[in-house]
Structure 1
Amino acid sequence: MEKANFIKIEAIQIAEAFNIKKLRAEFGIVPHSSSPSEIFYTLTNKKRYLYIFDYGVVVFANFTPRKKNEFIDFIKSYASTIVDLELFEEYRIEIDENITKVIIKNDYVTVPFIDSSVLKIVMLNIAQSVALDYYEALTDDLITSSKKYIQELEHRGKLSISKKNLLKYIGKVLNVKNSIVDNLYILDDPNLVWDNEELHLLNRHLKANFDINPRFKDLDYRLDIVEDNLRLFTDVLNVRESSRLEWIVIILIFLEIMIALLFH
């Protein structure tokens, strides 16, 4: 049997978002395909491939480390916020003309042929997986910080966080949730699988392999837990503010009585 060929895939979360429109206009290479949210390039006689998503992920195929690092440095100028986390996944596509159906493993997929559609499906699913890694890291941080406040309530019976800092924390949680909601489309099936049964099966099996849908449901569940905690913290602070206002009113009434007694 002839030795199979390989295409190495690397997906990296570089930023929170990319300006896709500006990048497409200034990159200087006509894309193979594009939309308002993504761009797919074939480079150097179709031996290298590049898939860029507006949620901050870049997927490289057959890139050398030098070429990959050069492009990462270039695309950072189109990023809204650089992600300072090492979030990446490696995968490979094995092309074996002797097989008749796709074989999917944890770290590679074997296909009987390769074209731009197959590449896009594989690269898209890896991009989705890395994006979920990023949101999972954000929610882990939120849950850890909320757990600290819950433990403080348990041991001290009160919260030391100020109202200003709580509002900042609420803003951070809502920002993460809104970002996830804005990027819900990343879980949608791409248009090219609708009329192609083979691509549809490949996409479905890759989603299952990367646990895309279960991970998103778990992410949404954990965000709901954080929101429930926020409501609890807000109620505690409102009680604290009400108690403070009551004491202020009592002190003012006492001062008014004392002044009245002194002048009469």
Structure 2
Amino acid sequence: MATVIAYLYASGINLRQCRGNVSHELLFSDSDELFYKVGEKKYLFIFQYGMVAFFGHSESEILATFKSLETAAKNRYETPFFDTISMSLNSSDDKVAFNHVSLKDADEEAIRLVMLNASQSVALERYAEVTEEMLGSTQQHTQYLEKRKARYRWKQAETIYR
């Protein structure tokens, strides 16, 4: 059994700079993401929007990777948001359950897709949290404006009837 761990590490990561900092075998890249093979059944997925996903890494390897990404990261989070998904490789059939995926044929592309989904899940959780904060702030501001408008109308009425 292996584990995918996805972290929202920073608000953004400079991928060009990452290419210079990460010395592993690059399997896939585009303008938004870098996918590396780190070793036998170990993968690293870096996204421009600040996500970093690991497959088969130890905690010390994850910390070392974060250290190497420090200069490429923009606005790092003190406590990164994260999620884990356990994976069973070479199982009898493909199954997806809550926080667990079983793959019959565990090739690099299948692992990459699980890592991508885990990363998007963490990002969506963070954006949902930000949206809730913004809605609360908007509601407070709306209530303030409504009270102020009511006072303004009352003053107008007093002026007219005097």
- TM-score bracket, normalised by the shorter chain, equals 0.7 to 0.9
User: Deviation above 4 Å: which 4+ runs of structure 1?
Assistant: none
Among 138, 143, 155, the alignment partner of 1:146 is: 138
Give the structure with higher Rg (CA): 1
> Shift in Å at residue 138 of structure 1?
1.5
3-state DSSP of counterpart to 1:17 = strand
Q: Which residue of 1 aligns with 2:35?
A: 40
Within the alignment, does 1:30 sit opposite 2:7 as a pair? no
Within the alignment, does 1:18 sit opposite 2:10 as a pair? no
User: Within 5 A, what are the aligned runs for 1:71-90?
Assistant: 71-90=65-84
Measure the CA separation in 2 of the matches of 1:81 and 1:21: 17
Measure the CA separation in 2 of the matches of 1:60 and 1:112: 20
Measure the CA separation in 1 of the matches of 2:111 and 2:126: 23
3-state DSSP of counterpart to 2:13 = coil
Measure the CA separation in 2 of the matches of 1:35 and 1:152: 46
Q: Which residue of 1 aligns with 2:57?
A: 63
TM-score normalised by the chain length of structure 1: 0.53
Could you give the per-residue CA deviations for residues 75-103 of structure 1, whole angstroms, max 9, x where no partner exists?
A: 1210121134541110011124433xx21
Q: Which residue of 1 aligns with 2:4?
A: 9
The structure with the largest strand share of the pair is 2
- Give the letter aligned to residue 23 of structure 2: G
> Shift in Å at residue 35 of structure 1?
1.3
Runs of 5+ in structure 1 lacking a partner?
A: 1-5, 159-235, 241-264
- Work out whether residues 93 and 109 of structure 1, in 8 Å CA contact, stay in contact via their aligned partners in 2: yes
- The alpha-carbon distance between structure 1 residues 145 and 77, as it changes in their structure 2 partners (threshold 3 A), is same
Moved more, 69-78 or 21-30: 21-30
3-state DSSP of counterpart to 1:141 = helix
- Give the letter aligned to residue 112 of structure 2: K
Measure the CA separation in 1 of the matches of 2:62 and 2:101: 22
Percent identity between the two aligned chains: 24
Aligned length: 150
- Work out whether residues 21 and 36 of structure 1, in 8 Å CA contact, stay in contact via their aligned partners in 2: no
The structure with the largest helix share of the pair is 1
User: Within 5 A, what are the aligned runs for 1:142-181?
Assistant: 142-154=134-146, 157-158=147-148
TM-score normalised by the chain length of structure 2: 0.84
Measure the CA separation in 1 of the matches of 2:69 and 2:126: 19
User: Within 5 A, what are the aligned runs for 1:1-264?
Assistant: 6-44=1-39, 46-99=40-93, 102-154=94-146, 157-158=147-148
Measure the CA separation in 2 of the matches of 1:135 and 1:98: 36
- The alpha-carbon distance between structure 1 residues 93 and 23, as it changes in their structure 2 partners (threshold 3 A), is same
Measure the CA separation in 2 of the matches of 1:30 and 1:114: 19
- Work out whether residues 52 and 58 of structure 1, in 8 Å CA contact, stay in contact via their aligned partners in 2: yes
